[in-house]
Structure 1
Amino acid sequence: MRQRTKRILFGYSLLIFAFFYVPIIILMMFSFNDSKIGTVWTGFTFDWYVKLFSNTQMFGALQNSLYIAVITTVLATILGTMAALVFHRYNFPGKKAIDFLFYIPVVIPDIVVAVALLAIYGFLDMTLGLITAIPGHVAISISFVMFVVLARLAGLDDSLEEAAKDLGANEWQTFWRITFPLIFPGVLAGALLAFTISIDEFVISFFTTGPGSNTLPVLVYSMVRLGVSPEINALSTIMILLIVIAVLFTGRKMISPNKKGEE
C-alpha cells in the first residue's frame, strides 16, 4: 500500500512538472523555428534572434521595464524590510489594523489598483509616463517583501542581538553586523520576488504608462493581438535563461555562507 502511494505521488508530481515546463520547452524550441507560424516546424534557424537584437522598439520596452523594476525593487525591499522589522519587534495601537492593510495588496485585483491610480493621476492632472507606473508596482510589491522577511525574522534567535549589545554594540552596529546578515536571505528573496512581480506586471503598466512609454508586457500584448511572432519566443527564451542563471547564482550565494558557518 505504501509503495503504491509513492508511485501515485511520483506520477502526480511528474504531471505537475510536465504541466509547468513542457510549454516552456516547446516555446524555446520554436524560437529556433524557420517558420513565422508558431505551430508548424519547418527548420532550424537563428534568424529570429538576429531580428530580435535589431528590434529597437522591443529593446526600448525592455529598458523601460527594467527601469521600473529596478526602482520598484529598491523601494519595495527597503520599505518592506522596515515594515517587517517594525511588526516583528514592536507592539503599538492599531497594529492589527495596519497589519490587515498589508494583506490587501496581496488579494486585491490589480485592475482595482490600476483604475484607482489612474483616477488619482487624472484628478491631479498628471502626465502619464514611466514614473507614474512605479507607485502601483511598489504598492503591490511591498507586502510580498514584508511577508518573506517576516518569515525569516520568525526564525531569528534574539539572543544573538542581545549578546552583541552586551558586548558594547549599539543599535546601528547590532543591526548591520548581526541582524541584517542573518535576515539577508529573506531580504534577497523578497527583492527577487518584487523584481519578478514588477517586470511581469501588465494591468497597472497598461493603465498608468503614457504614450511612448510601453513596458515589455504591454508591447508583447499589442504584438500578440496580431499573431505570435517568433521574436517573442526568442525574447522569452533569453529571459528564461537569464532568470535560471540568476536563480542558480543567488541560490549558490545563499547556500555558501550557511555551509561555511556549519564548517
Structure 2
Amino acid sequence: MAELLLDSKIRFWVFLPLMAITFLVGIIKHYLFIFMSNDKTVDKQQLTDSQALLRSRLIRENGKYLPKESFLMRKNYFTNEDSGFFVKQKRQSTVKNPMSDPKAMTEMLKGNFLNMIPMVVIGGWINWAYAGFLCTKVPFPLTFRFKPMLQKDVNLVSLDASWVSSASWYIINLFGLRSMYNLVLGENNAADQTKAMQDQMSGAALSMPDDISKAFKAENESLTITEHKWLLKGIEQSFLN
C-alpha cells in the first residue's frame, strides 16, 4: 500500500483548530460552572462527624507510628464504653433521596448541561465540517483493533491503523487535555471531562454516609479490635549502628 501524504494546510485548518477549540471550550465551561454554581453550606454537625470518622481511620492505619500510651489514649477517646465519642454520640438516620432534593437536582442538571451540550454541539460541527478528514498519524505502528477508536467516520479497511481522523482527534483532546487544564485552572477544575464523569458516577454525597449511627458503630468495632504494634521498636539502635 502506498504511503499517504497529508496536505500541510490540514495542520492549520483541522489539527490545531480542533485542539484550540476543545481547550477554549473547556476554559469557558469551567468559568460557567463557577458562575452558575451555588455556594454549598456545610452543616457543622456533619463536618464534625466526618472528621471524627476520618481521624479514627487514621489512628487505625497509622497507630503503629505512635507510642503505645498515645495510641491507647486516642483509642480510649473514641471507644470507651462509658464516655467514648462513638458510644456517647447519638445520631438519627438521615437517609435522603437525591431525586427529592431540589438543590441536588438543580446541580445535577447544571452539570449535565455544561458537560453534554458542548460535546453535542462541537461533535455535530465536526461531523458537518470535517467529516472523513485524516488530520494526523501516531508515530508508532498499531494493530487493527485501534481502528474503531482512532478512525471514527473513516471506514477504510485497508487504511493503516496509525492514522487519526478528525472526530477521533477531538475525542482524544477532550480527555487528553487534563494536564493542561490542571496547569492553567488548577486541580479542582470543571473543565476536566474525566473528573466530571467520575463525579457523576460516584456522587459527592458518598463522602458522608447516609446512616451516621451505623458508621459510628462500624468504626467503633474496627478501632476496638485494633491492637497496637510498635513499628519503631529499636529504631535508636539502628541509627547508632
Which structure has the greater CA radius of gyration? 2
TM range (shorter): under 0.3
Between Structure 1 and Structure 2, the one with more helix by share is 1
